[in-house]
Structure 1
């Protein structure tokens, strides 16, 4: 079966804006460079200090998530990788920016999120950094999350309204396969472009963050219930481990072995 990459995204800071990419480097045993590298941790009930390099996975309850704080979707954040700078826009206007790698830069950003999320977090939010080889993604196993846009269309049929693929916070969107064909790829290898090889290791459960409209921040869909009733399952997207790394590009061919 042959298909192609329709879009690539990474999420530099957990729960904040996706970053569309024309190309990305996939790392063996990991995922996209800088994907879910940073996160906001609750100030109370967490052992992670501001700017800490986290040496083990923090429990989900320690992190600020989109499902718990859906108003985060109303912000537009941009990660400027060469500078390690995060900018934050609200209502079309930049409201703050800071270097994620230095204490003063993180402090500026933390002050903004403290005010913006007042009443939604435990203590002052703190920016934390994943150690090399780890991420703050929902899946414990490092890798790339892939979704099939025709499966998104089938979900739209079930719920009776448009469904933005960005709800699912995947890394790679593909065109070509029939709806749900990707769920049959578990255990198989996928070759992307000129030499990147992925191995499909698991189907992904629909995460509560997918109930949040990525444009408005409204919790406006119960996808778990709708999919169970209309499709008989609530899995969507697949997790792939990187077997052979390299650069992938939008438009690249994707072939399933």
Structure 2
């Protein structure tokens, strides 16, 4: 059976909108380039950890404003413009904020908006923070990319009794082809990604395929219970999965052994 990449996605700012991609760079020893680089933090906690510097090391979950703690963040549509490091925020189809995430003035403009939007949630006012090089604000502490299987999403729809958008799981790579839950058996195995037709995916320095090693199965995260369109908590996934499937793991965390550029449609081979 042929496996392939059905979709690629990154999340420039933790808890905010996904950014679908046709091509993505997977960094050796790291994750997907540009993924979870920024976050909204509780101002009091982030200042205590990093002083006035916006570039900060990894923070504990309790210091960050998360989708599971603040589901209404899903009602916003944010767009990240790579070349400018600019994020725009739309609410109800209308742009309500815009700013350069790497500049103090730009961050202040965005923080003003989120301060009003999250006035009952953010402790000490929301603050935009930037991960130090080599670190991210992803849920998993070990660097890597999160891979999920479309057939497993369909099986969750079966036990939940309703449609389930794959972006709920905030994964980087969605694949087509495996049987439901087959990916959970890949822990410890190597995955090689080549361009459709058998040619290696693009990689600087040589024609090697992009290589991943599956490290662990991921427990389903509470953020996945938030409807990405309405901002409502409309699923009890932990209960539905344990009752209907006998487990609560979804997706796998993969270490990037040999990085490079991957593209939707690329072939996925599990060794």
Q: TM-score, normalised by structure 2?
A: 0.93
- What SS is found at the alignment partner of 2:45? coil
Give the C-alpha shift of residue 121 in structure 1: 1.5
Aligned to 1:144: 145
Closer/same/farther in 2, CA of residues 113 and 232 from structure 1, 3 Å limit: same
Say if 2:197 is the partner of 1:192: no
Aligned to 2:61: 60
Say if 2:213 is the partner of 1:211: no
Aligned to 1:222: 236
Aligned to 2:175: 174
| The 10-residue stretch of structure 1 (181-190 or 114-123) with the greater mean CA deviation from structure 2 | 114-123
* C-alpha separation in 2, matches of 1:191 and 1:88: 37
Aligned to 1:9: 9
Give the C-alpha shift of residue 2 in structure 1: 3.2
Aligned to 1:113: 114
Say if 2:176 is the partner of 1:162: no
* C-alpha separation in 1, matches of 2:265 and 2:75: 29
Closer/same/farther in 2, CA of residues 128 and 49 from structure 1, 3 Å limit: farther
* C-alpha separation in 1, matches of 2:136 and 2:256: 15
- What SS is found at the alignment partner of 1:228? helix
- What SS is found at the alignment partner of 1:45? helix
* C-alpha separation in 2, matches of 1:211 and 1:169: 11
Give the C-alpha shift of residue 49 in structure 1: 4.7
Question: How many pairs were matched up?
Answer: 256
Give the C-alpha shift of residue 54 in structure 1: 1.2
Computed over aligned residues only, the root mean square deviation of the Cα atoms, in angstroms, reads 1.0
Q: Structure 1: 5+ residue runs without aligned partners?
A: none
- What SS is found at the alignment partner of 2:107? helix
Aligned to 1:38: 38
Q: Structure 2: 5+ residue runs without aligned partners?
A: 195-199, 201-208
The superposition leaves residues 181-201 of structure 1 with CA deviations (integer Å, 9 ceiling, x where unpaired) of: 000000000011211000000
